[in-house]
Amino acid sequence: MPQIFLKKLQSSNFLKLLVIVFLSCGLLIFINFFTIKTLSASRGYVNGESHYSKAQKDAVRHLIIYMYTQDRKEWELFNKELKVPEGDGIARVALLNHDADIVAKNGFKAGRIKEEDFDDLIWLFKNFKNIPFMARAIKEWEQADNLIKELHQFGNDVYRKVEASKIDAAGRKKMLLDISILSDKLTITERNFSNTLGDGTHTIKVLLVCLNIVFILIIITAVSFYYSIMVKRLISSQKEVEAKNENLLLLNKDLDKFVYSVSHDLRSPITSLKGLIGIAKSEDDSEQINYCLDLMNQSLDKQDQFISDIIDYSKNKRSQILLGPVNLRKLLDDAVNQHNYMTNADKIIITKDLSIDEIQSDGLRLKIILNNLLSNAIKYVDESKDEMRIAVRAYNSGLFHVIEIEDNGIGIPEEYKANIFDMFFVIDSNKGSGLGLYIVKETLDKLNGSISVFSQSNIGTKFTVKIPNLYGN
């Protein structure tokens, strides 16, 4: 009797375990289905934003060429390209107003989005529009649509003036500046949309991965009742897989954000150069041609600095830490000489107060830190001041070497201080890529160091870098 009872009990427990396993597998399939659906919809939105951004930039290029050449074909191309972001705007309004899905689909079709993505895009919008990340993305989308309307109106104004022959060289120059400002605003808004959507999607992905892990653990626990040895091996390997998955999720998030922003920032100067080349070809006035060449040179300088920042970022990520004696005075002199070509560099008084000459550290990473901080100080000088100054100090403080770089530049507004070390965060897109201070922070993390900032608007900024004193004296 006891054996029969025990067998029945075991059989009952076995059935319960089977039910738990099947339910868990069913829930896993359900969760993974929506995981794929969510990621597919997010991919569709990012792809749509790429078309949105490209069409907007192409429209700007055609408008600039039309303004200088009065070629009606360029005006028609401007209007054609502008219909792409306008189509996406129609879809957004239709979804917010609960219009028929066909209205939104027609808008997405005009926005050059693949038809197979329509249903997923509409599903994500309807079911997630009140979730904070999606609500922020929709807000950025709305701001971009408003800027597109401004661009359309601006284009109409240009058309009227060109057709009436009421535009001269000064007028074209002002309009070119206005177009550039509007295009920069659109680029920032488009980037914010994708970043917000990417961050939100990552959060959802992490949550769904956690749910996956929970149900997997339930299944493993159920099976482990009979196969304890096998389960122990599974748990050991599972922990390793989970750790790798977490690392991959973090790396993918940084990579997605990095690739997206880099592609935007690398294309922007190219688009400007194409437009300026088109203008220069149609110009006979040598002054206008020289002006276009100056603008081209500025675009190339900006792209060169951006590529240099990417190289520094790659070096810091991939290179091993190599500790050795570093001549701080020589490193600083080299950094100053390297930046002599920058605007206003020859007008700045640079003072050095170094109570330490040689420190034990990674020379390559210390060079990256000094170059970026010095470059930042030169870029943000206050040209209205009679005397522009940068002071560099270095001294020992207990367990740390301290390097201070202080300037009397324009300073950092209070509302931006919390974000200045974020990747691709810029206060003025014309002055940098948004990678410099991020690279400094990442590099110091590699060295187990730290950085702090004190700044006042219109007074100046002081960055304080602390690096471990490996000699201990």
Chosen domain end from 271, 288, 310 = 310
Between CA 39 and CA 36 the distance in angstroms is 5
Whether residue 161 is found in the same domain as residue 88: yes
Chosen domain end from 279, 310, 341 = 310
Whether residue 141 is found in the same domain as residue 222: yes
Spatial CB neighbours of 378, under 8 Å, sequence gap ≥ 6: 339, 342, 343, 344, 345, 348, 390
Q: Could you tell me if 351 and 391 are in contact, meaning their C-beta atoms sit under 8 angstroms apart?
A: yes
What's the structural domain count of the chain?
2
Predicted confidence band at 288 (pLDDT cuts at 50, 70, 90)?
low
Whether residue 354 is found in the same domain as residue 304: no
Does the residue 234 lie in any domain?
yes
Does the residue 394 lie in any domain?
yes
pLDDT score of 222 more than 60: yes
CATH number where 386 lies: 3.30.565.10
What are the pLDDT digits (tens) for 174-195?
888 988 898 888 889 888 888 8
pLDDT score of 106 more than 60: yes
What are the pLDDT digits (tens) for 311-328?
655 555 555 777 788 888
Whether residue 27 is found in the same domain as residue 85: yes
Whether residue 34 is found in the same domain as residue 116: yes
Which region among 112-121, 234-243, 271-280 has the lowest average model confidence (pLDDT)? Answer: 271-280
pLDDT score, position 169: 82
Q: Could you tell me if 142 and 92 are in contact, meaning their C-beta atoms sit under 8 angstroms apart?
A: yes
Does the residue 163 lie in any domain?
yes
Q: What is the mean pLDDT of the chain?
A: 78
Does the residue 315 lie in any domain?
no
How much is the pTM?
Answer: 0.42
Q: Supply 105's token pair.
A: 């689909």
What are the pLDDT digits (tens) for 424-443?
777 665 566 667 788 888 88
Q: How far apart are the first and last CA of the chain?
A: 81
Whether residue 438 is found in the same domain as residue 303: no
Planar angle of CA 96, 98, 100, nearest 5 degrees: 125
Whether residue 357 is found in the same domain as residue 244: no
What are the pLDDT digits (tens) for 21-69?
777 777 777 777 777 777 778 788 888 888 888 988 999 999 999 888 8
409 vs 12, more confident: 409
Does the residue 317 lie in any domain?
no
Q: Supply 190's token pair.
A: 């488009």
pLDDT score, position 220: 77
Does the residue 393 lie in any domain?
yes
Q: Could you tell me if 177 and 82 are in contact, meaning their C-beta atoms sit under 8 angstroms apart?
A: no
Mean of pLDDT values over 218-236? 63
Does the residue 349 lie in any domain?
yes
Whether residue 35 is found in the same domain as residue 158: yes
Domain that residue 447 falls in: 322-468
Predicted confidence band at 3 (pLDDT cuts at 50, 70, 90)?
very low
Whether residue 144 is found in the same domain as residue 228: yes
Does the residue 362 lie in any domain?
yes
Chosen domain end from 251, 286, 310 = 310
Whether residue 163 is found in the same domain as residue 291: yes
Whether residue 77 is found in the same domain as residue 203: yes
**Per-position DSSP letters for 186-231, written without gaps between them:** HHHHHHHHHHHHHHHHHHHHHHHHHHHHHHHHHHHHHHHTT-HHHH
Whether residue 265 is found in the same domain as residue 379: no
256 vs 387, more confident: 387
